[in-house]
Amino acid sequence: MIKSAHVDTFARDNLPDESLWPELILNHPAATYPEQLNASFELLERTIELVGPNKAAIIAADGNFTYGELLELVNRISNYLIAQGVVPGNRIAIRSPNNAMAVAIWLAILRVGAIAVTTIPLQRAVELAKIVEIGQIQFALVDHRFIEEWQAIPNYSGKTFIVGGGSAFDTEIAKQSAEFEVCGTAADDVSLFAFTSGSTGVPKATMHFHRDILAIADTFSKNVVKPTKDDVFAGSPPIAFTFGLGGLVIFPLRVGATTVLLENAAPPVLLEKISEYKISVLFTAPTAYRAMLAQLEGKDISSLRRCVSAGEHLPLATWRAWFDATGNKLIDGIGATELLHIFISASDHEIIPGLTGKPVPGYQAMVVDESFVEVKNGEQGLLAVKGPTGCRYLNDARQKDYVVDGWNLTGDIYTQTSEGYFKYESRADDMIISSGYNIAAPEVENALLVHKGVAEVAVVGLPDDERGMVVTAYVVLRPEFLASDVMAKELQDHVKNQIAPYKYPRSIHFVDSLPKTTTGKLQRFRLKS
């Protein structure tokens, strides 16, 4: 038995009791690993053994790196972190857009045996404070363009290193040795905390091991995406999201491919970069595919061979429109932060438009009723999944809600066909999934309630052709305030200043009262009908 390399045992001490873990399928040929494993070593040194040090690894605004150059940079950062007092098991936050330095820092954190905690540049201080508190963050590496919100966090007392812009960090890492002895982590040492919005607005930290990082590459990516070293990856999801971390970092590095990292990945930019860099594997949300459809004329996207869609439900109309326009079959998939990446999908001839797919090799899935009894084919129920990855919340009572009888309950309503395909029906909770972003209705409500003009508010997600769902607020104003377009705009701007701007209500309805039960409980479902 390999002993944990963690000197700081916070993560292991705060794992759920193993009786509350999902059953893990660890003997599948696709995802079987030795007891000692460091994911950074596997994604760099092991990959260099396959493709050599001169193969292009990253193309980004802050520089292009071969695998050999990336390894040297990661080693320099690793040496710097150790010099600054980092020990295995420490939690280190990363605040950066998608660029080469962010990836190098992430790999260095894993390399020294610490725990990476990625954050979204759009997050505000109030949101970051929750991450700091839950994850007990001790170090932070923050892009110089996003330092203001980090410095506004009231409860952070650790060390902060400003990255880029000619900072001391840039100067100091250049002085470090390009050699580093990789920390001998156990395969089940925690490597990252990935935060997910709870339906209550209180985020949950999901804990993933070094072996989990490789498992998602060796199951979904290997069997569905089927990448080669000659592929060029790109996409829009932030690497702070596990969808982006897998698709833009882990999957390409696992096979020695090249990844193009974009700090701005709006649909027009994606189309431009597909042509410029001959992108062959694209990861983005249905919203972006819909937006790109209207801008395809005159664009050369013939290099695309794999287009992966996740983050929100893929409408059948979008699938058909993309196929008709490009000849490319969108790879649909459902994943969860709790399981790190996609666990149901299909590719090539196995794709059936309108259906998510079948369990990825290594995973199992079924549809159950509220008593956890498997339902018949065609009947709606809760999706239950298990495989080599699974939910382990950091010190969170909600673990027992997500894991039942050894299965992960994702919060999605599905049906299953007689051929074993799974079809998405709806969400089972108040989570709003808009343009690939998970948005908790109560969090938006809380932001609105801080405004002096708001007496009551209810936020729901309503169907939207462009975004999948649109954040919609029903607002009861205080008597001295008048409903108007100006007030709606003021409330929208207020929310943007309180929490990440993408969470703001794009539609606001002023109402005299909200639907409630006789005991005063808000009935959001009545606002969705």
Q: For the segment 294-333, what is each residue's pLDDT rounded down to a tens digit? A: 899 999 999 999 999 987 778 787 899 899 999 999 999 9
Instruction: Tell me what pLDDT residue 519 has.
Output: 40
User: Is the pLDDT confidence value at 200 over 80?
Assistant: no
Q: In a 10 Å sphere around its CB, with 0-12 CB exposed, 13-18 middle and 19+ buried, how is residue 416 labelled?
A: buried
Q: What is the pLDDT of residues 418-428, one digit of tens each?
A: 999 999 887 77
pLDDT of residue 521 exceeding 70, the answer is no
> Which of 418, 454, 431, 447 has the alpha carbon at shortest distance from 505?
447
Would you state the structure tokens that stand for residue 501, as one six-digit string?
């701007």
The pLDDT-based confidence of 400 (bands split at 50, 70, 90) is very high
Say if residue 199's pLDDT is above 60: no
Domains and CATH numbers, the chain: 10-416 (3.40.50.12780), 431-528 (3.30.300.30)
> Which backbone phi and psi does 375 adopt, to 5 degrees?
-90, 170
What is the mean predicted confidence (pLDDT) over 256-282? Answer: 96
Confidence of residue 440 (pLDDT cuts 50, 70, 90): confident
Q: Is 242's pLDDT higher than 60?
A: yes
Residue among 115, 104, 119, 95 nearest 57 (CA): 104
pLDDT digits (tens, 9 = 90+) for 68-84: 999 999 999 999 999 99
* Cβ atoms of 461 and 469 closer than 8 Å: yes
Which pLDDT band holds residue 198 (cuts at 50, 70, 90)? Answer: low
What string of DSSP letters covers 232-280?
EEEESS-TTSHHHHIIIIIHHHHHT-EEEE-S---HHHHHHHHHHHT--
Q: Would you state the pLDDT for residue 518?
A: 44
pLDDT at 13: 97
pLDDT at 526: 83
Distance of CA 9 to the CA centre of its chain: 25
Cβ contacts of 356 within 8 Å, gap of 6 or more: 314, 332, 333, 334, 344, 345, 346, 414, 421, 422, 423, 424
Q: Does residue 30 have a pLDDT over 90?
A: no
Average pLDDT over residues 206-230: 98
| Order of strands, sheet of 159-163, starting from the edge strand that comes earlier in the sequence | 159-163, 139-143, 91-95, 115-119, 190-196, 204-209
First to last CA, the chain: 55
326/437: higher pLDDT: 326
Tens-place pLDDT, residues 498-520 = 999 999 999 999 999 988 654 45
Among 210-219, 368-377, 461-470, whose mean pLDDT is lowest?
A: 461-470
Instruction: Please state whether 527 falls in left (phi above 0), alpha (psi between -120 and 50) or beta.
Output: alpha
Q: Predicted confidence band at 430 (pLDDT cuts at 50, 70, 90)?
A: low
pLDDT of residue 189 exceeding 70, the answer is yes
pLDDT band at 1 (very low <50, low <70, confident <90, very high): low
Q: Tell me what the pLDDT averaged over the chain comes to.
A: 93
